[in-house]
């Protein structure tokens, strides 16, 4: 058999081998009850960059440690928006946390913009200061100058009127240096404070998530995706009715008064997926435009400083 014929046979063999190799799975196959994600090869590996909700920010050492996909709560409680395995230190951040306002009340916090930049409002940006009612948080998003009020958007709010869903919304940007960790375990971007309104289950989801890195480019977004798609996971709250119980306290005239504190609740482990309506997606365009203006201003400042 000639060399030419052998070459043709070999080429056909390689072609058939290529055709018969099964295609690798497309994209990750995440288990939403876990912080670690299954890699596209189907084998456990390092967690990919993603954002998720910690259903109980008071449980454990700090918000997102541990990270609870479900929690039983009552009275005033806090949830955290957590980030894992970011490829860069974070710069501008943006998210809307969707909640059921018939089950949970979001606690509005007035801020004295532009002087305090709404850095300790609700949602409460993680600047290494006290988050909600919890202790000082480390790691944080950075020790540079941050603004959550005056640049390209509204101050933090418990509900954006332009969205169909009720969502607690935060948009912040900063100037370097950034100290947020890279390729790290879950840590909080912000904490949202809620009050139990009535018994029931509250399925929390994320929308309009966009995160930029210190390089000046987007490193992740979801619901909707603008440039770089990342997974975003929700959480479920089992909200218990809590009625203040009178406690015996000495008062003038011998009357009994005072109220007991709400009970501590335990946490479980499961998750809910994200969702966004057509109206929410339309609102995301507006939010995305604001974020683009914000990032452009941020990048221009950075170039001037350079």
Q: Is residue 6 part of a domain?
A: no
Q: What does the buried/exposed string (b/e) look like for 97-129 if buried means 16 or more CB atoms within 10 Å of the residue's CB?
A: bbbbbebbbbbebebebeeebbbbbbbbbbbee
Residue 200: domain span: 50-243+260-305
Q: Is 210 a domain residue? A: yes
DSSP code string of 46-101 = SPPSEEEEES-TTSSSBTTBS--SEEEEESEEEEEEEEES-SS-EEEEEEEEE--T
pLDDT at 242: 60
CB 235 within 8 A of CB 79: yes
The structure tokens listed for 218 are: 């987007």
Q: Are 204 and 272 in contact (CB under 8 A)?
A: yes
Stated pTM of the model: 0.68
Q: Is residue 5 part of a domain?
A: no
- For residue 115, being part of any structural domain is answered with yes
pLDDT of residue 174: 84
25 part of a folded domain: no
- Tokens linked to 281: 């997606």
Q: Is residue 7 part of a domain?
A: no
Residue 287 host element (H or E): helix 278-305
The CATH number for 197's domain is 2.60.40.680
Q: State the total domains in the chain.
A: 1
Q: Is 15 part of a structural domain of the chain? A: no
Would you give per-residue pLDDT tens digits along the chain (306 residues)?
444 334 433 333 433 333 333 333 333 333 333 333 333 333 344 569 999 999 999 988 889 999 999 999 999 999 999 999 999 999 999 999 999 999 999 988 888 766 678 888 999 999 887 887 777 788 899 877 888 986 556 789 999 988 999 999 999 988 777 889 999 999 999 999 999 999 999 999 999 999 999 999 999 999 999 999 999 999 999 999 765 545 554 444 433 333 344 444 443 333 334 444 444 444 444 445 454 445 555 444 554 444
Closest by CA to 289, choosing from 245, 240, 224, is 224
> Tokens 């210190």 label which residue?
214
pLDDT at 274: 40
Residue 80 lies in a domain: yes
């Amino acid at each position: 058999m000639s060399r030419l014929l052998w070459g043709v046979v070999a080429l056909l063999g390689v072609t058939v081998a290529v055709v018969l190799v099964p295609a690798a799975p497309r994209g990750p196959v995440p288990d939403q009850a876990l912080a670690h994600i299954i890699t596209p090869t189907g084998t456990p590996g390092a967690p990919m960059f993603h954002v998720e909700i910690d259903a109980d920010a008071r449980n454990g050492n700090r918000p997102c440690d541990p990270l609870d996909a479900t929690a039983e709560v009552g009275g005033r409680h806090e949830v955290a928006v957590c980030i894992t395995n970011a490829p860069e230190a974070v710069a501008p951040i943006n998210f809307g946390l969707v909640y059921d306002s018939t089950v949970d009340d979001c606690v509005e916090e007035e801020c004295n913009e532009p002087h305090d930049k709404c850095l300790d409002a609700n949602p409460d940006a993680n600047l290494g200061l006290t988050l909600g009612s919890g202790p000082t948080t480390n790691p944080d998003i950075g020790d540079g100058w941050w603004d959550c009020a005056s640049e390209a958007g509204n101050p933090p709010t418990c509900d954006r009127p332009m969205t169909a869903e009720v969502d607690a919304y935060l948009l912040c940007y900063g100037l370097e240096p950034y100290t947020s960790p890279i390729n790290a375990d879950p840590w909080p971007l912000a904490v949202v404070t809620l009050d139990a309104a009535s018994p029931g289950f509250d399925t929390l989801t994320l929308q309009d998530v966009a995160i930029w890195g210190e390089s000046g480019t987007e490193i992740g977004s979801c619901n909707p995706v603008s440039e770089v798609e990342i997974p975003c996971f929700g959480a479920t709250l089992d909200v218990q009715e809590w009625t203040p119980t009178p406690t015996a306290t000495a008062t003038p005239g011998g009357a009994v008064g005072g109220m007991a504190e709400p009970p501590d609740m335990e946490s479980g482990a499961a998750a809910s997926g994200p969702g966004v309506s057509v109206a929410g997606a339309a609102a995301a365009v507006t939010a995305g435009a604001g974020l683009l203006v914000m990032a452009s201003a941020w990048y221009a400042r950075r170039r001037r400083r350079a």
